[in-house]
Structure 1
Amino acid sequence: MILLVIVTLILSACSQGKTTENKSEQSASGQTETSKEAAKPETKKFKIGINQFAEHPALDAVRTGFEEELKALGVEAEFDWKNAQADVPNATKISQKFAEDKVDLILAIATISAQTAKTATAENKIPVLFSAVTDPVSAELVASMEKPEGNLSGTTDMAPMDKQLKLFTELKPEIKKIGIIFNTGEANSEAQVKMAEEIAAGMGLEIVTIGINNINEVPQAVDAILSKADAIYTITDNIVASAINVVAKKANEAGVITIGAEKAHVEGGILMTEGLSYLELGKQTAQMAKRVLVDGADISAMPVESLKATSKAVNVETVKILGLEGAKTFAGAEEVK
């Protein structure tokens, strides 16, 4: 009997020891798993304010490309998109609100939006990336294309103007005067006009201009330019882009050749372009945003970037209206209806 009691006590002790050991292992295992979860860094969700100066296909494409590419890059972001409706005071208020909200980054689409963002962030230095800006140096957004030296950088939509102006003489050698309608209050447009004048002079062409201040002046401006020029060139001007259908319709009715700075113009009825993709421009800007937000890159040292590849696009309906079927210039161009 005594022996039986002793054996029972020994077995009980062993059992308790194993139980204690198992609990210890479970506890240690639980602490390890909890520690691992705690050690996982939480993915930060960035707040990005988007100040878009106007709503038209080119600027819309920049925004779409930017948002899609950030998602593809795995960057968690909350977008606060605002449309300034081509109004400077609106753009100013939007930038000021983003600065007050202390967003992580501002995407300024178009020159005026970028200029208002620069002013609004002068003190808190929130990083600002711009896109669809033709000449950021002339617009006083950056010190130079290579070294911005401030809290702004981004992508330029500088068009291959020499290639685009050459299309006029390829399609109709008799063309001598090319008309441009532009917003006199936009530095981006003024820079393009000056560049067009310099390039055209070297090609034996003359640039005729009509300045406007708002979208309501576009119809009258088109009528005026048609009476002075042999053809029309639509630059990347936001007011003109917002009324591109009006420009195309009047020019087509007059039988006048039109060349646009980018594909969205062709989609609006302009005859042809050899230009860049604004969707791709937006994606490239998103890649810059990732470097700033996630990788910790210094925006003041990030050169302004541009797209190198260009492509042709032609509006087939406009081709028919102008009777230009079979023109060699259209070879290899994307057909747009």
Structure 2
Amino acid sequence: MKKSKVSSLVAIILVSMIILSGCSSNNKQDRKVSEEKIFKIGISQLAEHPALDDTRKGFEDGLKELGVNAEIIYKNAQGDIPNTVSIAQKFSADNVDLIFAIATPAAQSAKQATSHIPVLFSAVTDPVKAEIVSDWKNVGGNITGTSDMAPTASQLKMFKEINPKIKTIGILYNTSEANSQVQIEEVMELAPVEGLEIVTVGISNVNELPQAISSIVKKVDALYMITDNMVAASVELMSKVAIENNMVTVSAEETQVKGGLLITNGLSYYELGKQTAKMAKEILIDKKDVSTIPVERAEKTITTVNQKTLKALGLDEKLHLFENAIKVEE
């Protein structure tokens, strides 16, 4: 009897060990499959210019750092909004694992193209006003991302800190870009607090830029460049004209300073892209529901000054604002 009980006990132990071994093997296999899975990510970028390019690079580098194995399918709309629609529809038809839309029109098109594929956006100023999400915190769908909303108030303060005599600020913008309208409204609201008046000139295509720049510098004391995709593509021209007219330029983000504008206290689009990559990991690896991930703003801003432009304008390099800034040159 005792022998029978011992035999039964041994049998139970052996069966348990086999089951546990099998479970352990399955868990290891599941982890291995998760680690080896290659996610197909479609990137839709509105246009080629440094800010959007940096956003994409930051996103791709961020994925690698986070261990997200991804096959990147990159498509550039070359500034043509109908192209963003076609790109988004193709990604949807191909059933990619995630769409990363860079700039507002690309994000809007991605939202329209799919309601089941997770969509992340970046380089979007106000996703609520652009009707991409329902709310900053409760996005209410399959799309969320990072905003490039600039710290406008601190940027406007820079004008008087550099030259107290500055009174009028010029802004060029694309009349059909929703992000630009949002930023101009904010600038108009904040400018009087800093004792500044705003002059705006709208353009509808890039060919109008040279004449618009030549026109606006005759009406203002300094220039402010917002995160407008069309205008940002001509940052070198704006810098050249501003320097020729001995005019201070403040920008909304650092790539514009690298392109020749004087100074910013702004975000890094590269870091913003990496920040968005963290959200991609949460969705693809951690299986977090997109609708539960709030829209995020840039985690940090950086004061950056273009050393070459600073010298060309003959400004005092010992000014506190310049001394504590990161120095870059074209």
Length-normalised TM-score, structure 2: 0.89
Which residue matches 1:264?
255
Question: 270, 290, 306: which one pairs with 1:299?
Answer: 290
Q: CA deviation at 1:276?
A: 1.0
Q: CA deviation at 1:328?
A: 2.6
Secondary structure of 1:158's partner? coil
Paired with 2:110 and 2:25, the residues of 1 have a C-alpha distance of 42
Whether 1:73 and 2:62 are equivalent positions in the alignment is no
Question: Deviations 1:43-86 (Å, cap 9, x if unpaired)?
Answer: 22111000011111111111111111111111111000111111
Question: 279, 283, 287: which one pairs with 1:288?
Answer: 279
Paired with 1:37 and 1:204, the residues of 2 have a C-alpha distance of 67
Question: 8, 20, 29: which one pairs with 1:40?
Answer: 29
Whether 1:117 and 2:105 are equivalent positions in the alignment is no
Which residue matches 1:108?
101
Which residue matches 2:321?
329
Q: Tell me the amino acid that sits aligned with residue 217 of structure 2.
A: L
Which residue matches 1:5?
none
After the TM superposition, which residues 1-337 of structure 1 pair with which residues of structure 2 at under 5 Å, given as runs? 36=25, 40-41=29-30, 42=33, 43-121=36-114, 124-326=115-317, 327-337=319-329
Q: CA deviation at 1:265?
A: 0.5
Q: Runs in 1 of length 4+ with deviation above 2 angstroms?
A: 35-39, 325-328
Secondary structure of 1:40's partner? helix
Q: Which runs of 5+ in 1 are unaligned?
A: 1-31
Which residue matches 2:5?
none
Q: CA deviation at 1:325?
A: 3.0
Question: CA separation of 1:273/1:38 partners in 2, compared to 1, >3 Å: closer, same or farther?
Answer: closer
Higher-Rg structure is 1
Secondary structure of 2:287's partner? coil
Q: Tell me the amino acid that sits aligned with residue 274 of structure 1.
A: N
Q: Tell me the amino acid that sits aligned with residue 145 of structure 1.
A: W
Q: CA deviation at 1:308?
A: 3.3
Paired with 1:277 and 1:262, the residues of 2 have a C-alpha distance of 7
Q: CA deviation at 1:336?
A: 0.9
Paired with 2:105 and 2:25, the residues of 1 have a C-alpha distance of 48
Q: Tell me the amino acid that sits aligned with residue 88 of structure 2.
A: S
Q: Which runs of 5+ in 2 are unaligned?
A: 1-20
Q: CA deviation at 1:232?
A: 0.5
Q: Tell me the amino acid that sits aligned with residue 45 of structure 1.
A: I
* RMSD between superposed Cα atoms in Å: 1.7
Q: CA deviation at 1:100?
A: 1.1
Secondary structure of 1:80's partner? strand
Secondary structure of 2:56's partner? helix
Secondary structure of 1:240's partner? helix
Aligned residues: 304
Q: CA deviation at 1:39?
A: 5.8
Paired with 1:243 and 1:84, the residues of 2 have a C-alpha distance of 18
Length-normalised TM-score, structure 1: 0.87
Question: CA separation of 1:328/1:51 partners in 2, compared to 1, >3 Å: closer, same or farther?
Answer: same
Q: CA deviation at 1:125?
A: 2.1
